[in-house]
């Protein structure tokens, strides 16, 4: 289990399949995703059984600590130990929890896992340019836009561009240290 302050991530299990199916099939949620939809519980179960044995990925369900309710998903794909990098993905599937900082916390937990536990040097993410929320979230935790991949994927009946965004381990550690210093200074001012 990967622990944040309000959420935790655990590996996806069969009991989570209905949640993921509902989230991906929700028209508002899937607007920003590049999934083939609709998805089914049978197909998702088959997918989970295949990826559970794949060492190049980790697929998590995001749950609230206070009441153990699943609210989203996230993970790392294409974990490449030799080149010390992985692709990160995430989403808050339940719109009730959008805009409340849970996505940012998920991103922090995933980055901590990637850099501290797996020892990776680079984490990257592909983002649809119209998904401003995800772009802003990524930037807020230190990701940078590396480039635009034009007509990179066929999704929702059209060819879509995607940004590739990334963060390097050194930048992540520098951001964490700066945040810690700010919090320490605020604490000293209160005392």
Structural domains of the chain ordered from first start = 2-190 (3.40.630.30)
The residue behind tokens 């995430």 is: 90
| Predicted pLDDT at 178 | 80
In the chain, % of residues over pLDDT 90: 82
Span 147-158, mean pLDDT? 94
Please give the average per-residue pLDDT across 149-156, as a whole number: 94
The predicted structure's pLDDT at residue 182: 62
Q: Which segment of 3-7, 155-159, 161-165 scores lowest on mean pLDDT?
A: 155-159
CA–CA separation, 147 and 36 (whole Å): 25
* Confidence band of 125 (pLDDT split at 50, 70, 90): very high
CA dist 17 to 74, 89, 107, 128, Å? 14, 17, 22, 25
pLDDT of residue 146: 98
Q: Tell how strand 122-127 and strand 85-92 pair up.
A: parallel
Is the pLDDT at 180 greater than 70? The verdict is no
Closest CA to 30 of 21, 18, 41, 43: 21
pLDDT value, residue 23: 95
DSSP string, 131-180: -HHHHHHHHHTT-EEEEEEEEEEEETTEEEEEEEEEEEHHHHHHHHHHHH
**Tokens found for residue 65:** 């600590």
């Amino acid at each position: 289990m990967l622990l944040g302050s309000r959420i935790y991530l655990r590996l996806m299990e069969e009991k989570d399949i209905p949640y993921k199916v509902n989230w991906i099939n929700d028209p508002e949620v899937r607007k920003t995703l590049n999934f083939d939809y609709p998805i089914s519980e049978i197909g998702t179960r088959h997918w989970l059984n295949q990826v559970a044995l794949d060492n190049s990925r980790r697929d998590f369900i995001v749950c609230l600590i206070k009441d153990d309710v699943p609210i989203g998903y996230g993970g790392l794909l294409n974990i490449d130990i030799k080149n010390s990098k992985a692709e990160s993905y995430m989403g808050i599937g339940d719109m009730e929890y959008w805009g409340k900082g849970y996505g940012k916390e998920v991103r922090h937990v995933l980055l901590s896992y990637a850099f501290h536990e797996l020892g990776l040097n680079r984490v990257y993410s592909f983002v649809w340019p119209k998904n401003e929320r995800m772009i802003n979230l990524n930037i807020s935790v230190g990701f940078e836009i590396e480039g635009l991949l034009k007509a990179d994927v066929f999704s929702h009946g059209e060819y879509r561009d995607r940004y590739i965004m990334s963060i390097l381990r050194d930048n992540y550690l520098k951001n964490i240290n700066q945040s810690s210093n700010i919090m320490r200074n605020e604490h000293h001012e209160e005392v």
